[in-house]
Amino acid sequence: MERKNYLTLTILLLFGFLSIYASNKTEIYKAYISNDMNLWKKTIDEMDQQKSKSNDVRLELLNYQYGYIAWCIGNKKSETAESYIELGEKNIQVLEKTNGYASFVNSYKSAFYGYKIGLNKLKAPFIGPKSVECAKMAMKQDANNPYGYIQYANSQFYMPAVFGGSKKIALDYYTKAKNLMEINHQKIIQDWNYLSLLSMIAKTYTELKNFNQAKLCYEKILKIEPDFLWVKNELYPDLLKKIK
């Protein structure tokens, strides 16, 4: 009887964990497509306040912190970005001491170096190479992890051509990341990372003046998620103006 009760409790705890995970993913997805960053912040703050976090939950939280920091930098909220970079780096430090997360750790290290450059361009010559090296290391550690490819692509997209950046190389690595993500169709359902990646591919096509491919990409995004406001109200209409 005791063994049966233990098994029942274990199953309930597992379903409880999966329910919380699904809830967090759904909330972040809703926040992303509707540009509701108050909801995004509320979700990650609640996750951060959990006293006991598994490493997988910590990695999930780190991903959401990574997304929120990018929004803060893009919207000139430098102090908030810095505070969440600090929180994210604490999660990186914990995961760095745990086996099985090396590729993810270097992916986010690469991203956070990039964020620090975004906050202070003068740091680019000093930490820009570190960002690139971390992305390369992430790809080497796990060739099937799309996040290393995304960060390497980001480094190429945002780095000025005079310093070695290349939109063509960025597109190549974004596409590799997309192909890896699409292997697991279930995982990319309501995944903000996947929509973000498709958006960056469309933006890269636009930068390369390949407007037809950019248009096809935006149409794919809106077919997946018709209510994605950033694409629906900004990126896609801006592209159509360029085409005309």
State how many domains the chain has. Answer: 2
Last residue within a domain, chosen from 183, 207, 233 = 183
Shared domain check, 222 and 131: no
Shared domain check, 114 and 144: yes
Whether residue 218 is contained in a domain is answered as yes
Whether residue 3 is contained in a domain is answered as no
Shared domain check, 202 and 95: no
Q: Specify the pLDDT at position 244.
A: 81
Encode the chain in three state secondary structure: CHHHHHHHHHHHHHHHHHHHHHHHHHHHHHHHHHCCHHHHHHHHHHHHCCCCCCHHHHHHHHHHHHHHHHHHHHCCCHHHHHHHHHHHHHHHHHHHCCCCCHHHHHHHHHHHHHHHHHHCHHHHHHHHHHHHHHHHHHHHHCCCCHHHHHHHHHHHHHCCHHHCCCHHHHHHHHHHHHHHHCCCCCCCCCCHHHHHHHHHHHHHHHHCCCHHHHHHHHHHHHHHCCCCHHHHHHHHHHHHHHHC
Shared domain check, 177 and 193: no
Q: Specify the pLDDT at position 52.
A: 86
Whether residue 28 is contained in a domain is answered as no
Last residue within a domain, chosen from 136, 151, 183 = 183
Whether residue 106 is contained in a domain is answered as yes
Shared domain check, 99 and 43: yes
Last residue within a domain, chosen from 133, 150, 183 = 183
Q: Specify the pLDDT at position 121.
A: 92
Q: Specify the pLDDT at position 132.
A: 97
Whether residue 79 is contained in a domain is answered as yes
Q: Specify the pLDDT at position 163.
A: 86
pLDDT in tens, the chain (244 residues): 444 444 433 443 443 434 444 579 999 999 999 999 999 999 999 999 998 899 999 999 999 999 999 999 999 999 999 999 999 999 999 999 999 999 999 999 999 999 999 999 999 999 999 999 999 999 999 999 999 999 999 999 999 998 899 999 999 999 999 999 999 999 999 999 999 999 999 999 999 999 999 999 999 999 999 999 999 999 999 999 999 8
